[in-house]
Amino acid sequence: MIVAGVGIFTCGFFSTHAIASSWVGRRAKCAKAQASSLYLFFYYLGSSISGTVGGLFWVRLGWPGVAAMISLLVALAFVVAALLLRLPATE
């Protein structure tokens, strides 16, 4: 049962990353390589920070704290996605 949950989470994680990465290439009007490199930089920076903070949540609050932190990150991702959908379409 746990393995199936981890597999679904992993599939969703990499699917979301692939979609976000493709948005960068489509939205950048020029300097696409630099835009992609900035995306990857902040992607890995965010991953490092959230991993470290997740460890702090784990130490202080256990699994409920980690679940709460992940829920907040998912909510933030939905807000960012909603804001991105409001941007005008590109060619």
Residue of 23, 25, 22, 14 lying closest to 47 (CA atoms): 14
Q: How far is CA 55 from the centre of its chain?
A: 17
Token pair recorded at residue 21? 């990465």
Token pair recorded at residue 49? 């920070």
Q: Coil, strand, or helix at residue 30?
A: coil
Rounded Cα gap, residues 6 and 4, in angstroms: 5
pLDDT of the residue at 18: 86
Rounded Cα gap, residues 37 and 29, in angstroms: 15
pLDDT, block means (10 residues), the chain with 91 residues: 67 82 85 91 90 93 92 90 83 62
